[in-house]
A and B are shown apart, each in its own frame.
Chain A
């Protein structure tokens, strides 16, 4: 296999060039313009040899004898999965994959590999190993033992945990790491594998058994590709692969369904403060629909390149660095991803110009959608990408990577052979079309890590009323101040009730019915009706969701039990869920928290959606509820408490308006983030003290 342009063609080219040179070199040198290029050299892309072992391991070989060395690179192609309260599991598995086997300790593996002068790095998705050809057999013996028979020794795990934990303690002073966490957490959320961020707590939850299970599940030959590059024939490579990885057994790899990542509603500024930062680390980002093999891949790459994803002459670099001198470098990235791709435009800028830089970023993102690019700009981008493609072929491993992508993503066999043609065919119209398809300038996460002093300058870029703040690990962080002295739990609660009609009026209600709608994410809306009976001896509630008048879900609860009707089936609700709903039922519950056994505290003040608010916290055992009351009018505008599945849910309460003639006010909108989507319940109509049909609260006949 050769990566070399055909000798004949090249000689012809050089001959032509020689003629050109010899005529010129006798004349006066014309320095006033750039010299013409010689005839374009031909780029030949080699084809690696591919073979599958009986156990499913696919071996891809690129034979090249330039130097007496061989590298082995294994990739395990399994879908990412949620690690939930063990976030960081795969990262720990990477650190632990060469930590020992029955036959070798961690120290022996390192010593034996390095004695050969070789290198070996294992990770959660395979390994890379390389040595001189003469050491190949010795190296593979160690490598295959480490990969196939890891024991994940407890004491090594503890050691690595200590190091990782020490490393995590440094995260709050590293703007780059914080920014990475912020981007992952806000683009994908904690319900997407890309959005999970390892913290001290999740690290602590990872056990040796988790690693053993993980290895047993995912390290299977039928998910593996082995790329062999260098001084070796395909036959030898297969024989060696078979000898060292042939007795490795197949297994079923679980498939995890991944929630699609969602755009934020409106541009959202996400801020993480680093005291004393002299620059702001800006990442303007959103998930994009760009899987590998996308029919517009070439146009998308070119668009990204023109905007700032490649050449120094990209717009972001020219504007923010060369013209404005805000930064050492401004760029963007947009790469295909089989799960969820993301667009990121980024720069580190000095703190004072953070807002000016954001203005320029937004202008450039809009401009590439709103205006056709210049044809010379497109030509530059094409030249740049063809050049990168040609340069990438200098590394012998590149054609193997091409072959791997063709297999993994089911691309046409000639996908890379025809890449330059596809690049060449892209028009300025294509660029604008893909810019519009890919970039949504009003649904961006504008992530900024920087000095707290700049926070106020960021407000104009946020479409909502307030800027969400995050800690170093991408978790929402709410800066708090002390409440004025004299603030009491009772005082805050009674001020709220005074504002919605008085606790006394509410306490006299026997029941209430609200009707309206519920929206999930964008576009999906159902009718919503809630009946609540407050009377002490006959507490009950019923929730009904309907589509075009047809119920799709009904939930009926009384203290004795609750049922749910869904898709025609009635099921009993969990006893603890019933108890929780009954506990939450009373409209004046907040006035009697102490009687319910909760300890109330005034936590302080902070902004919610830009509004200064007072926070109350109620604790009973390990249950914690938090409430935010707007200082301007005393109204409860946000609450956080356990939901039926045990998770803490934040609910925002907005637009208090009077319903009925008792002067009672209700929030016309209650919204909460669930499973990465926003659920909004809107109340259109409310009636107080209604007559209830007794059957409504019991779905069982």
Chain B
């Protein structure tokens, strides 16, 4: 992410809300989509409630597209692409938007890089000009590279190195993947970034930042016909890329023995992390796994919290969340133990609940509760224009079906208690698991 205020454990919240639940009674999100000749995919959603417009571009490139000796490139590039273009002087990208009364930011995941401007609706054209400049001829200069190199290092220090349990995600990913590029996280390696030269950046830009690898998704107070004309004006002359877009094809081999490790640090409370490999998002089994995790962790009354936190009083927090990705992702279970509690006890309680999911079908009441939760999430999910634009772009990019914004709920509701039990039996295998303890190093200060 380019700039953020970050709180630890917001990770848990983000994971918890990552599932885009469906909607039954909700109004349909209507949208128009089309391709330009250069391959740019466009999605427009019209809503006049507030005179605002969210202009977003999703590039289908994330850390999994990086070379193993250039990790962190996608995220670093996100920073660089605010530096300016042939027509936008260094530092002016922000001021154009802010002078217009808007805000802008971007973020990078394993799978994609997402840029957005939220503007008053009379500034729609400004947003299109800026994004088309970024796509057509961003300016990548040494001064920008040097500055952002330092800024990204500070971002890593602030969000990982100087953060309690900041190594949780990078360590878990490194242990959970041996072959697939998900083994590194988007922040990447600072040594790799130091080693990258101007040619590397240009290659990255010319490979991935091309119209056929992008989705322009716009939501808000707009008129579809006018907006389409403006989009053509700014984007249709942007040439297609000339290169193949590399996508990882490697399939992470299934583990046959559990990986266990203990990481010592200065944090005081023991943390237990479990990672189970799960199918790629959008596959039928993925929805069953996601429902399973909802039974385990969908709220205070969910099983892991009731068992580990409330009844056994072993932990401050305990939950398991689907980290759904384009290629097969992970379920991440974690528990922060109460002071003085043996993490093995916590792990045993977590395993016990997982085993129960394999043995027993969930009750009718639990099923009804799941459906009610899914329905509520879906109905209330699509509120902000920025959120709608992003969801539409995600659904199109990952599944080729933007209308999943309206229909994905059916996939969830089709899951039966038997599917959930089968998913537990199939994917929550102890031998495929990674189990990590983060423990206090008694020699560390203070």
Contact = CB atoms under 8 A, between A and B. Distances in A.
Interface of A: 3-5, 7, 10, 13-14, 17-18, 21-22, 24-25, 29, 31-43, 66-69, 106-107, 110-111, 113-119, 130-132, 135, 159, 162-163, 165-167, 169-170, 172-176, 273-279, 281, 311-313, 317-318, 321-323, 325-329, 348-350, 379-380, 383-384, 386-388, 390-391, 393-395, 472
Contact of B445 (A3, A68, A167, A276): A276
A39 B122 contact: yes
B310 A25 contact: no
B379 interface: yes
B446 A274 contact: yes
B157 A25 contact: no
B268 A313 contact: no
Give the one of A176, A278, A394 with max B CB within 10 A.
A394
Nearest to B50: A394
Contacts of A5: 48, 51
Contacts of A394: 49-50, 52, 384-385
25 contacts: A7-B48, A18-B223, A25-B233, A34-B129, A39-B122, A42-B51, A66-B49, A114-B298, A114-B373, A117-B375, A117-B376, A169-B269, A170-B268, A173-B267, A176-B163, A276-B445, A317-B3, A380-B98, A380-B99, A384-B98, A384-B99, A387-B100, A390-B50, A390-B101, A395-B383
B147 A174 contact: no
A34 B94 CA distance: 13
Contact of A111 (B26, B27, B301): B301
A21 B373 contact: no
B282 interface: no
Nearest to B144: A322
B218 to A, nearest CB: 15
A328 B151 contact: yes
B98 A383 contact: yes
A35 B125 contact: yes
B94 A348 contact: no
Given A275-B266, A383-B100, A69 B158 contact: no
A67 B338 contact: no
Contact of A169 (B3, B25, B268, B383): B268
B102 interface: yes
* Chain A to chain B: the 3 pairs with minimum beta-carbon distance, closest first: A387-B101, A117-B372, A275-B445
Contacts of A176: 7-8, 163
Contact of A69 (B3, B121, B159, B379): B379
A601 B299 CA distance: 55
Interface residues of B, number: 102
A453 B298 CA distance: 44
B210 interface: no
B43 interface: no
Nearest to A133: B25
B4 to A, nearest CB: 8
B164 interface: yes
Contact of B157 (A36, A278, A313, A317): A278
A3 B50 contact: yes
A325 B8 CA distance: 23
Contacts of A312: 3, 94, 98, 104
B369 to A, nearest CB: 5
A116 to B, nearest CB: 6
Contact of B96 (A34, A132, A472): A34
Interface string B22-60: 000111000000000000000000001111100000000
B19 interface: no
Interface stretch (B196-204, B224-232, B254-262): B224-232
A68 B379 contact: yes
B178 interface: no
B358 to A, nearest CB: 23
B316 interface: yes
Given A14-B226, A380-B99, A394-B52, A172 B446 contact: yes
B120 interface: yes
Contacts of B234: 29
A99 B375 CA distance: 27
Given A67-B27, A275-B444, A391-B118, 18 more contacts: A4-B50, A5-B48, A31-B133, A32-B87, A41-B51, A106-B310, A114-B298, A162-B339, A163-B309, A277-B162, A279-B154, A318-B91, A325-B151, A328-B155, A328-B157, A328-B158, A348-B154, A390-B50
B150 A325 contact: yes
A41 B53 CA distance: 12
Contacts of A273: 446
A39 B4 CA distance: 32
Nearest to A331: B5
Given A13-B122, A350-B157, A163 B375 contact: no
Interface in B390-424: none
A42 B52 CA distance: 11
A22 B299 CA distance: 52
B372 A115 contact: yes
Contact of A350 (B98, B153, B444): B153
Contacts of B95: 313, 380
Given A3-B50, A117-B375, A162-B313, A329 B339 contact: no
B133 to A, nearest CB: 7
B122 A38 contact: yes
Nearest to A175: B162
B161 A278 contact: yes
A170 B269 contact: yes
B151 A321 contact: yes
A328 B5 CA distance: 10
Nearest to B136: A31
A322 B91 contact: yes
Contacts of B161: 278-279
A31 B85 CA distance: 11
B445 A166 contact: no
Contacts of A40: 120, 122
B245 interface: no
B322 to A, nearest CB: 18
Contact of A387 (B103, B229, B379, B445): B103
A162 B100 contact: no
Given A69-B376, A312-B3, A391 B103 contact: yes
Give the one of A22, A106, A111 with max B CB within 10 A.
A111
Give the one of B91, B151, B336, B365 with max A CB within 10 A.
B151
A325 B158 contact: no
B25 A10 contact: no
Interface in B90-132: 91, 94-96, 98-104, 118-126, 128-130, 132
Nearest to A68: B25
Contact of B122 (A41, A274, A275, A318): A41
A383 B268 contact: no
A311 B3 CA distance: 12
A312 B444 CA distance: 37
A135 B380 CA distance: 14
B365 A115 contact: yes
Contacts of B122: 13, 17, 37-41
A26 to B, nearest CB: 10
Contacts of A279: 154, 157-158, 161-162
A387 B102 contact: yes
Nearest to A43: B51
Contact of B338 (A10, A22, A166, A390): A166
Contacts of B302: 114
Contacts of B118: 391
A173 B99 contact: no
Contact of B444 (A118, A276, A318): A276
B315 to A, nearest CB: 8
A394 to B, nearest CB: 5
A276 B266 contact: yes
B123 A37 contact: yes
Contact of A390 (B51, B86, B298): B51
Give the one of B104, B136, B161 with max A CB within 10 A.
B161
Contacts of B52: 390-391, 394
